[in-house]
Structure 1
Amino acid sequence: MLKAEYQHRGKVPQDVIEAVELTLPALPAGQVLVKVLAAPINPSDVLTLTGEYGMLPPLPAIGGNEGVGRVEQLGEGVSNLKVGQTVLLPVGSGTWVTHLHAPANKLIPLPDADPQQLAMMTINPPTASLLLSEFVDLKPGDWVIQNAANSGVGGYLIQLAKLRGFKTINVVRRESAIAEVKAEGGDVVLVDGPDLPKRVREATGGAPVMLGIDAIGGAATDHLAASLGEGGTLVNYGLMSGQPCQVSAASFVFRDVTLRGFWLAKWFQKATPADQFKVFGELTQLIAAGKLKARVAATFDISQIKQAIAAAASGERGGKILIVP
């Protein structure tokens, strides 16, 4: 058994983490032994290793915030699960491991579907879903603009928007990303630049765009803000550029654009169990039915954690990096 552990944080994420032997104690009552089937590496995981994320676990720590596993052994008193069942692992449980103990009442049984796709459902799909529903009351036929459209959240957002009848303008930072975003179902794909607003108006025939979604910050935020219609809302959920969001006063003063922020962790804190069940119930059904999926660029074993982190931190991969023990 192995775990991907880090004792400190540093600027080069792959340098601070390594695969070490894992020894689990006797299985406590009320818990189950789970074999991890798949666990993704998200941008937030990389930022946690560098110390730049908004919520950092105490050290030493095991990496990984989401994933799925298979129940291998039941602790005393566990009656709600069965050996062999696929389960969704608790958020933040240190999922870059071959095996773990988890409280039975914190594990969610999953349908029999692709474990790699199910492993990515806890963070990116609900982020995309909530970005589309929580800020602007969109109607079928409405336009949405997003940058980082070739990211994990970007891909889910394109698919969910199409299922809900919305049209997407998808902004990328390099020409080589255009084909993959079009293949995902993006209605319009544009390379970012200062003239983005003009090209957006041409692509939409001048239709107002009332929701913008920004994952980059810096000048890219301003390009999206200037592309929105009067009274539009721009939501930032990431800072891939490492620069503060920039928005011209003209967007705020003359066109009444609003800039908001979104962090899934905050939503989890405020959402009722019924709200969470509604969101995850829909997403689970879509993923199990193959109607919602993410590209997988590569898979790595726990023993290859340094290579996996380096791949996840690189800027030109064509999909998600997964740990598959």
Structure 2
Amino acid sequence: MMRLNKTGKSVLTGIAAVLLFTNIALAIPGMPHQFYGDVVINGNPSPDNILIDAKISNDVVSSAFTKDGKYGYEPIFYVLNPDGKRDGNLIEFYISNVKAGEYYFSSGASTRLDLSATIPNFCGDAICEAGESCSTCPGDCGQCSSSSSSSSSGGSGSSSSSGGSAPLATTTKTDDDETTTTTTGDNEQTNNQEEETKQTTCTENWKCSEWFDCFNSRQKRVCMDLNSCGTEENKPIISQECAMPLAEDDKKEKDNSGFLSSITGNFLNSVAGNASASGVGILILILILGIAGIIYAKKSAKISEEVVD
């Protein structure tokens, strides 16, 4: 049986320490908590594009927009767990800043949570309430009626008060005879409407949530075009760099730690800040140490056998 001397044991101990340190440095954050369900406002299914915020301690941690009276189906709605310490925290859900439900965070859970809220003067509940009008909320109060106007024929001195197109007489005179042709203005009106339709463009109207938690030095938010133009020319940014907040326990530990702890903490922050690059470097280091340990162990065993012989 092969036995290792003190040097070989030291090498293996170093490899084990590196593996343990790698596990700590590259710790995977806690699993998120998914939510979905129906949304009811003033007793009716919610209209589309209503903002829903999830808050923990009054901080927005996730947001979504309603669609077909629901939320969390498309896209998926979840609350992150960046530091792995959110289990048991109370999540409060708000619809247009009105509380609509609550639930306790649980890592990796998928929860159906139907939301309901009563919002005064809410545009979209099919009730034309005080403070709403056809111009501010046509969905509840109906479309505003357009004022009637009379149209006049240009240059002829005659006018028409009917809603349709009056026949127009066109006289063509030649040397031999005189021909009168009667036409209507329907074709001209249709052509004008087509031209107006072509010239009409959809104006993007973006509405965004607050910025979410800082995760892996980036934070996101969700944005929705309320006019559903299908274009993203003026879409606001939905992702930006951020500084990872330092937890209270980490602050106390940093204040009370010595020089060695400070160095270790800086190294851990460096690894966490660029996990992919650091992970590759650590894996290479482990591989090198492992190969060196195996080679050294084999050489030591060979030397021991030669000495015995």
Structure showing greater Rg:
2
TM-score range, shorter chain: under 0.3
TM-score, with structure 1 as normaliser: 0.19
